[in-house]
Structure 1
Amino acid sequence: MLYFNNIVRFRKWKVFLILGLFSLALGLKVVLKTLRLTAAQLTDLQKCPACFGLSLCDAILNNKISIRHKNAYATFANLFGSKNVFFGTYGKEKVVLKKLAHTSELEAFDKMLCSDQKLLELCVTNSNKKAIPRNIDFYTRVIREITSDFTSENISNLKLCPITDHMDDLLYNVYANGGKNEKEISHAYLWTMIKINPEPLVLQILPAEEGWPVPKYFGACGRLVVEEYVGPSLSNYYSEPWIRRAKISASLLEAAQMFTYRNPHFGFYLTDISPDNIAIDPWDNAKFIDMENLIVVDKRISNNNMTSEWEKLEVNDADFDCRNCLAFSPSDICSHRYSDHNYYAVCQHLLAQTTSSSSIPGGLLHDIPKDILTKHPDLPNLLLQCAVPSSVYTRIMAGNSLRKVLIEIVSSNI
């Protein structure tokens, strides 16, 4: 009888335990559902016009853009994470939602607004905060932030040099996308993005719709921007078949050529290239997903502004023993119409066998198959000359030749 009672008690305890766990799981599910962020909650619209714009507010506020919550971990990461990068969907497209800075950086920016007497019109706690701040010359502030005076502190990671005479030409697409916003507000958005993170500006200056190797930019609402989700980062392709890596490498070299030469008026030089800042789309094309750091060289300068070195190619001869350093001289890049910096960055830090960053041991083109080497014995030398050139123009010539060889190899192995 005692044995029977113990069995009953055990079974009751087991039933209560199961019911308790079920109730806990159900309660947790309800809590997580309550905690799930929406895109609208991320906008911080009350901080405008010290924000990134309003072009996508209709879609965000009407829940046309949703944040993906795959599991409990993702929900808590979205809610309490400081990186402020979220993944979602916009119609049938996968997108990335960014606040463009860590929470601490955004808080520091807001504190600066409220502590600067000249910027009090933008302070969110100011009872006299104005929708259109008439007393702030944002245009002058924008020019100051992108100045070519690289010795200044706290200047933007977007640089325009050696002159700013054609800044409005550079920002043509940005103005066009701004719609009917008054200039005071448009320039406030410009200034805010340049101060916090100029990536949205760059994605409009170099739109994906025109073939530039960057994510598509959908727009902004308050302190939130929405971009195309391209795919996994370059680091995930280190162990892929060599032919696939060759195709990706060819697209990286094509990007170096485009950023340097495609625009007849401006040259664009990437100053923060790493495998984590590059994503690969479903067709194995590389796209640069972190465009916060960029030097823009205005190629149209007058004779009075030209240095004696202006028409000579700037060759990046940085310390090649620094394997993990993307070394360069901003002043050298800005004092020449053209630089081979983009080729240096791609070959030296992503592709080359002996000189690439330790994050890609042996470079993306590591372990070239023997049959490929037999047919293309010049491949290793082209790669080396692109990374560490033996003379002026060698790096660009080698980089372009390497791209052609890689395209030929890929085409013949499809």
Structure 2
Amino acid sequence: MLRFLSLKFGRLYRCGKFLLVAGLFVVVLMNTHSLLASFQRNELTDRRFVGLNKCPACFGTSWCRKFMNGQVSFETWGRLRFLDFFNVKNVYFAQYGEPREGTRRVVLKRLGSNQELADIDQKICKRATGRPRCDLIQSMYKTEFARLNGEVRLLTPEVVEGWSDLVHCPSQRLLDRIVRRYAETKDSGSFLLKNLKDTERMQLLMTLAFNPEPLVLQSFPSDEGWPFAKYLGACGRMVAVNYVGEELWSFYNAPWEKRLDLAKQLMDIAEQLTNNDFDFALYLLDVSFDNFAVGPRDGKVIVVDAENVIVADKRLIKQNKPENYDAWYESRAEECDKEACLSFSKDILCSRVTVDHNYYAVCQNLLSRHATWRGATGGLLHDPPADVIGDGRLETLLDECAKPSRQYGRFQAAKDLREYLTQLSSATGNSVR
């Protein structure tokens, strides 16, 4: 009976697969003329397509000249608009050409799904007019995004606190850093709002409220050693970042030596974002294999999705001394019916000096046997060599890091795990990078 059912479902699967392919063929056949036109034109020079017509309700204009001059163009499949149905996150691969530098690959992001972008338009209209539809440009000047005019010297915590994860608990030091490093202005370098044009202030604030990822990349740039993709610029509602490489998931079944190196880098990232000379703790709230990528040449692991990052200012925490500020905070792993989920309290992350959240997130969702993604289990360090299995230390440290058996066990386990991964890499003569 079971064999009969499996055969039946097998035929249904093959039939469904055939119908899908046939349907796609019919769609392509019926749209041959429009498909040919798609390959011939560069939609990234269209103001409406990139959302430039919605500015200042947009993310910036620093790259508009490059877009309008045709220096940025979709790669082959990115030109086919009917494939946008499958591209829910609105992330595209493109080529950027510079006369002196040649052509290189970049990633374009709309920073949200079509529905999320439509929702932000409605919110702007409702705040300005009380109606879901309006003249978006004029309405922007009636929202809180426009109330901070040139007479206001600083962007202050009480104005933007809670707008997004980046400013869930902002300090003045963090906000000054965001304004000073804002890349969508020609006069960057000053933390004074008066040095920004009205449109630039509105763009900055809208980005901060809608999706602060560009501001994370600008405030903690890769050029200074932060493990994030490099921000390049924006035009309207299209943001360009540097292409890093294949996503971490592509290395799930890579040779053991390679996975060992990647695991060590992930733990190093967790340490760097938690403890650094700037006394900013950057906590990753969304940790999955899709949110990291690996450089093809240097093998370096980089965070490529920085939308959900809380920045806690440790100096401010030590200064204000909230309740239990100096007590170590240990994240507790809780069972969840979804992949790559994490349990945490944003308020506690913002009020403690010593927090193990990043170690927990990396061990739980990427490295240990508890990690699950796309139906696979076992984590990045699955199926280690026999001698490593026999030693037993790796499994013990991973388990203690993901789900500690004793109080504050994760802190020591994370430290020991980083050292052990380094030892294993040296022992295997790892030169994969």
Other-structure match for 1:350: 366
Q: Does 1:254 align with 2:268?
A: yes
2:111 to 100, 109, 122: 100
Q: Aligned pair 1:85/2:91, yes or no?
A: yes
Deviation at 1:304, TM superposition (A): 7.0
Of all paired residues, the percent bearing the same amino acid is 34
Query: What is the CA deviation profile of residues 145-204 of structure 1, one whole-angstrom value per residue up to 9, with x for unaligned ones?
Result: 7525xxxxxx4232342x533233331553366323625333212211122211101111
How has the CA–CA distance of structure 1 residues 172 and 114 changed in structure 2, closer, same or farther, with 3 Å as cutoff? closer
Q: CA deviation at 1:98?
A: 0.8
Residue in 1 that maps onto 2:353: 337
Match of 1:361 among 377, 384, 387: 377
User: Map of 1:8-407 to 2, 5 A cutoff?
Assistant: 27=33, 30-34=36-40, 37-38=43-44, 40-41=46-47, 42-70=49-77, 74-78=80-84, 82-91=88-97, 92-117=103-128, 124=135, 136-137=147-148, 143=157, 146-147=160-161, 155-161=163-169, 164-175=171-182, 178-180=185-187, 182-282=196-296, 283-301=298-316, 305-319=320-334, 324=339, 325-353=341-369, 355-359=370-374, 360-374=376-390, 377-407=392-422
Gaps of 5+ in 2: 1-28, 98-102, 188-194
Separation of aligned partners in 2, 1:127 and 1:264: 40
Residues 67-102 of structure 1 show CA distances to partners (whole Å, capped at 9, x for unaligned) of: 112487x45325995532211012332111111111
- Given that residues 39 and 76 in structure 2 are in contact (C-alpha distance below 8 angstroms), is that contact kept between their aligned partners in structure 1? no
Would the alpha carbon gap of residues 288 and 146 (structure 1) be closer, same or farther in structure 2, given more than 3 Å must change? farther
Kept in 1, the 8 Å contact 2:46–2:68? The answer is: yes
- Given that 2:401 and 2:413 are in contact with CA atoms closer than 8 Å, whether structure 1 keeps it comes out as yes
Structure 1, unaligned stretches of length 5 or more? 1-22, 149-154
Take 2:129 and 2:280, find their aligned partners in 1: how far apart are those partners? 33
Q: How far apart are the structure 2 equivalents of 1:265 and 1:215?
A: 21
CA deviation after TM superposition for structure 1 residue 406, in Å: 1.8
Aligned residue identity for 2:349? I
Q: Please list the CA deviations of residues 289-344 of structure 1 after superposition, one character each: whole Å capped at 9, or x if unmatched.
A: 11111111111227773124111221112425767431111122122012100000
In 2, Cα distance between the equivalents of 1:211 and 1:265?
Answer: 15
**CA distance, structure 2, for counterparts of residue 334 and residue 88 of structure 1:** 37
Distance 2:311 2:139 in 1: 38
Q: Would you say how many aligned residue pairs link Structure 1 and Structure 2?
A: 381
Return closer, same or farther for 1:128/1:328 CA change in 2, 3 Å cut-off: closer
SS of 1:95's equivalent in the other structure is strand
Is the Cα–Cα contact under 8 Å of residues 227 and 302 in structure 2 kept in the other structure? yes
Task: Give the AA of the match of 1:387.
Answer: A
Q: 1:226 to 1:209 in 2, by over 3 A?
A: same
Moved more, 337-346 or 193-202: 193-202
Question: Structure 1 residues 114 and 193, CA, compared in 2 at 3 Å: closer, same or farther?
Answer: same
Q: CA deviation at 1:111?
A: 2.2
Distance in 1 (CA, whole Å) between partners of 2:116 and 2:305 is 17
TM-score under structure 1 length normalisation:
0.80
- Tell me which amino acid in the other structure corresponds to 1:76: F
Cα pair 1:134 1:184 within 8 Å, conserved:
no
Instruction: Confirm or deny: 8 A CA contact 2:121 2:136 kept in the other structure.
Output: no
